[in-house]
């Protein structure tokens, strides 16, 4: 190994670090776009429609890495179901996670499950999702949760 090999290795190391840091920053920007152009419109229309059923919902973005939709019990201010999309720390692509949190009834503490967000959608396709696809995903998870609660043996 020559004198220049270690210098080239060091140069490549710092070049790779810059690329990784740039990718992490771009991923945060893509997550911001997902929030603004896909999640907000989808959650806003869900919120309006849920109101027709006497169900309050609210959504927010937390610390630039988490999108949180909360659905309350009908005619109540107590939370029933949470649909939480989050970007894991140090992500270099939009490989999002989903956390489902829900209560069996108003007297029980919430339970939670973690899974891959829309596992059949590649990270490169996340920004191509439609509002309808996201709304349907929320509804499917809400339905599965509610059915599980209704049919759970005591």
pLDDT at 154: 65
Residues in the chain, overall count: 154
Q: Which two tokens stand for residue 67?
A: 């999108």
129: exposed, middle or buried (Cβ count in 10 Å: 0-12, 13-18, 19+): middle
pLDDT score of 85: 98
Over residues 86-110, the pLDDT tens digits come to 999 999 999 999 999 998 888 888 8
With a CB cutoff of 8 Å and minimum separation 6, the contacts of 38 are 127, 129, 130, 131, 134
What is the model's pLDDT at position 151? 77
Estimate the share of the chain in helix, then strand, then coil, as percent rounded to the nearest 5.
Answer: 50, 20, 30
pLDDT given at position 98: 98
Cβ neighbours around 71 below 10 Å, total: 23
Tell me the domain boundaries of the chain: 3-151
Cβ atoms 144, 152 nearer than 8 A = no
Q: Are 28 and 64 in contact (CB under 8 A)?
A: yes
Close Cβ partners of 93 (under 8 Å, ≥ 6 residues apart): 23, 27, 123, 124
Q: Which parts of the chain register pLDDT below 70?
A: 1-3, 153-154
Burial class (CB in 10 A: 0-12, 13-18, 19+), 34: buried
């Amino acid at each position: 190994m020559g004198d220049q090999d270690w210098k080239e290795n060091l140069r490549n190391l710092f070049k790779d670090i810059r690329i990784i840091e740039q990718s992490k920053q771009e991923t945060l920007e893509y997550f911001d776009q997902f929030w603004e152009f896909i999640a907000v419109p989808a959650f806003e229309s869900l919120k309006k429609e849920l109101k027709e059923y006497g169900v309050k919902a609210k959504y927010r973005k937390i610390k630039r890495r988490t999108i949180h939709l909360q659905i309350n019990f009908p005619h109540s201010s107590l939370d029933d179901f949470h649909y939480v999309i989050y970007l894991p720390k140090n992500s270099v692509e939009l490989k999002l996670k989903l956390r489902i949190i829900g209560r069996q009834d108003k007297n029980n503490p919430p339970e939670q499950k973690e899974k891959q967000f829309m596992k059949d959608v590649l990270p490169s396709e996340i920004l191509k999702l439609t509002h309808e696809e996201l709304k349907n995903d929320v509804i499917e998870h809400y339905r599965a949760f509610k059915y599980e609660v209704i049919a759970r043996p005591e």
